[in-house]
Structure 1
Amino acid sequence: MLTDKRVLVTGASKDIGRGIALDLARHGATVVGTYNTGTSDAEELLALGIKEMVHLNHLDREESAATLRQLAASGPFHGIVNNAAVIEFASWESSLDSWDRVFDVNLRGPLATTIALAPEMPRDSSVVNISSTAGTLGSFDSLAYSASKAALTNLTKSLANVLGPSGIRVNAVSPCYIDVDAPAESARLTPLGRNGFPNDIASVVAFLLTDGARFVTGTEITVDGGYMAADTLAKRAYEAH
């Protein structure tokens, strides 16, 4: 399905990114992954079939720009999955302390990556930004993260506008609670009664990279087990009867 397609997955060494990278490789894609921390995880992915793992630190603008130039010079990509992200928890009064760091990785990083690689991407290529349902809901203790994901979803629409004439599609996938880091009680909040798994996200990303999604662009696909469709208080009241 993705044979002969070269795809970059940022933040590929762990969690959702790891699931996406491995799933795309299973579908025949030549996957280049990036990582910031987790060298041993990156080495393991190479042993599991990921073609190349490249160190990329979006918090170091000079270094990341040089890395992106090298990736652009290495040959065209048919797909980009902008997955790398950070979250920092703090009181709302302290949110400014982490604001720039979170936005540099979660928003500037995807934009910088797309700007660097899009000029060489062939027609019918695809960019997938991993956003979050947190970008739709307000936050209590991760204001910068939620705001950055809201901005990423909007950036997705803008990039779809400007890259559409080049035949490049841009979409966002927004997960909710994923099993690798979700509290156990969150499973009870979804109509499906479970948390998501990285492969639940990966399968949607894979679809968006295929020709089957050739008329899908500028949209956000929420992958949350129905979490955003449910009033959790009403759900609990319903289940109590």
Structure 2
Amino acid sequence: MERLASKVALVTGGSRGIGRAVARRLAADGATVALTYGRDAAAADETVRTIEKDGGRAVALHAELGRHGDAAALWEAFDERTGGARVDIVVNNAGIGRSADLAGLTEEAFDEVFAVNVRAPFFIVQQALPQLNDGGRIVNVSSGAARLAMPEAIAYGSTKGALDTFTLNLAKALGPRGITVNSVAPGIIDTDVNAGWLRGNAEAWEHASSLSALGRVGTPEDVADVVAFLASDDARWVTGRVVDATGGSAL
């Protein structure tokens, strides 16, 4: 059964990794998906083709996030490609990481990671409010790094903590409209972002697996299934929460 039939979803950073898995899952559940990409148009087009091959509906939108005016430009592109459709589901997945400790982080890198990971979701939601249907769903992709001490990625973890606070306040603000807002916090996931240090390195893979209570590295689909739950009517009574999707890491 297509539990998201007639729904329209926006998934930022939907061309690869977790975003791609989320876009595919929401489309499989019946939603029409608009997925954004920053630089890799080929990956975005391939994701759209895969969704269509599986019987779903999707469009790809180019969106450089993190600069002033980017959120408004994104919704203009959304309106153009969808014919001004209203939106039911917003998944703020796009994000970047900066692996530097307190001493090594530059002001430029700090500004960039906060612009993409915090400012962009904030203003994407702000700009969405006029066309976001009552009873809609907002899901912010956070990280287990928001609750763990990781000094080597202090700025990244801080952005995800800020995103979780945004989730909490947004849930309260939009509750009267029946809109739920939640965060999903993945752990170590086998994506292209982690490929350089994880894939092909047996020692790194074993260590990453050992951090999870379930004894393995997560997949994008593990996270996408949680997002799909929160985007569905099954999660109608869940809001303002951070849902841990780390496989029980660091318990």
Taking structure 2 as the reference length, the TM-score comes to 0.87
Deviates more, 1:62-71 or 1:171-180: 62-71
Residue 107 of structure 1 contacts residue 152 of structure 1 at CA under 8 Å; is this kept in 2? yes
Code of the aligned partner of 1:170:
V
* 2:156 is the alignment partner of 1:142: no
1:144-163 matches, within 5 Å, as 144-163=155-174
Instruction: Show the counterpart of 1:233.
Output: none
1:65-214 matches, within 5 Å, as 65-71=72-78, 74-95=84-105, 96-180=107-191, 181=194, 182=198, 183-184=204-205, 185-214=207-236
1:26-65 matches, within 5 Å, as 26-49=28-51, 50-65=57-72
Per-residue deviation at 1:156?
A: 0.2
Write the distance in 2 (CA, Å) between the matches of 1:104 and 1:4. 32
Code of the aligned partner of 1:75:
A
Corresponding residue to 1:222 among 241, 244, 248: 244
> Structure 2 regions of 5+ residues with no counterpart?
52-56, 199-203
Post-superposition Cα deviations, 1:54-91, rounded to whole Å, max 9, x if no partner, equal 01111332344222244357221110000000001223
C-alpha RMSD of matched pairs (Å): 1.5
Deviates more, 1:167-176 or 1:63-72: 63-72
Residue 69 of structure 1 contacts residue 116 of structure 1 at CA under 8 Å; is this kept in 2? no
Residue 72 of structure 1 contacts residue 116 of structure 1 at CA under 8 Å; is this kept in 2? no
> Structure 1 regions of 5+ residues with no counterpart?
230-241
Write the distance in 1 (CA, Å) between the matches of 2:237 and 2:79. 26
Residue 187 of structure 1 contacts residue 195 of structure 1 at CA under 8 Å; is this kept in 2? yes
Deviates more, 1:12-21 or 1:66-75: 66-75
Per-residue deviation at 1:214?
A: 0.7
Secondary structure of 1:206's aligned partner: helix
Identity %: 36
Code of the aligned partner of 1:88:
R
Write the distance in 2 (CA, Å) between the matches of 1:63 and 1:28. 28
Per-residue deviation at 1:128?
A: 0.1
